[in-house]
Amino acid sequence: MKRVGITGGIGCGKSTVVAEFVRRGVHAFVADDVAAAYYDNPAFLAEVRRMLGDEVFRADGSVDKRRIAGIVFADSRKLRGLNNLVHPRVMADFDAFCRKHSAEPYVLFESAILYDYGFNAFMDKVVCVYLDLHERIERLQKRDGVGVEQLMARVANQMPAEEMMRRADYVILNYEGNPRQRQVAVIDKLLRQ
C-alpha cells in the first residue's frame, strides 16, 4: 500500500480534492480533523493549558481555537510548541489508519503543512493542490470571515504554495472551471498502478 500525501496552501481547496478521491473509493486521513479531536482529551488539554495559558480557554472549560490561532500564528515559538504536541500523535494515528487499510492500493494523508514538518518523508508520493494566493485569500475571507492581515499571517507560517508544487510528484490546478475530476481521475489511475 502506498502512502500518498496531499497538500497545498491554506484555502487552495484541498478538502474538495480529497472529497473527489474519496468518491473514487480512496480512504483519506485528514490530519486537521484528527488533531481537532485531541481537544476533547483532558490530558491533551492540560498540556495546552501549560503551554498557552488559561487565556485560550472559555469559561466552560472548552478551548477557543480562534484564540489559539491568533496566539500561535503571531509567535513562531508557540506554534512550534503546539505542533510538537500535536504532530507525534497525528503520525501515530496515521500509522494505525494505514494498518487498518493495508489491503488498499493507497491511502491519502491530507495536511497543509506536509513539507513544513517533514511528513513528506513518510509518504511514497505527494499531490499538491494549487491555487494562486489572491484567489485563496478571497476564498478564505468568504469562508472564515477573517481579515486579510490575519490570513496573511497564517500564509506566512506555511511553505509557499509554489514551493510545494515544485516538490510534489503530482499537481492539481484547482481553479474554477478547471477539470478537477479529470485531474483526480488521472492521478488516481497512476497511483493504482
pLDDT tens digits for 82-104? 989 999 999 999 999 999 999 99
Closest CA to 95 of 122, 70, 117, 71: 122
* pLDDT tens sequence across 102-111: 999 999 999 9
Rounded to an integer, what is the distance from CA 1 to the centroid of its chain?
21
C-alpha span between 20 and 26 (Å, rounded): 9
Q: What percent of the chain has pLDDT over 70?
A: 100
The answer to whether 111 and 9 are in contact (CB under 8 A) is no
Look up the pTM and report it: 0.87
For 19, what's the count of Cα atoms within 13 Å in the CB-facing half-sphere?
5
Grid cell of 178 as nine digits: 478547471
Instruction: Tally DSSP H helices, then E strands, for the chain.
Output: 9, 5
Locate 71 and state its grid cell: 496566539
d(CA 162, CA 136): 13
pLDDT at 167: 97
Confidence check: pLDDT of 144 > 80:
no
Instruction: For the chain, give the percent of residues with pLDDT over 90.
Output: 68
Residue 35 has a pLDDT of 94
Instruction: Sort residue 146 into left (φ over 0), alpha (ψ -120 to 50) or beta.
Output: beta
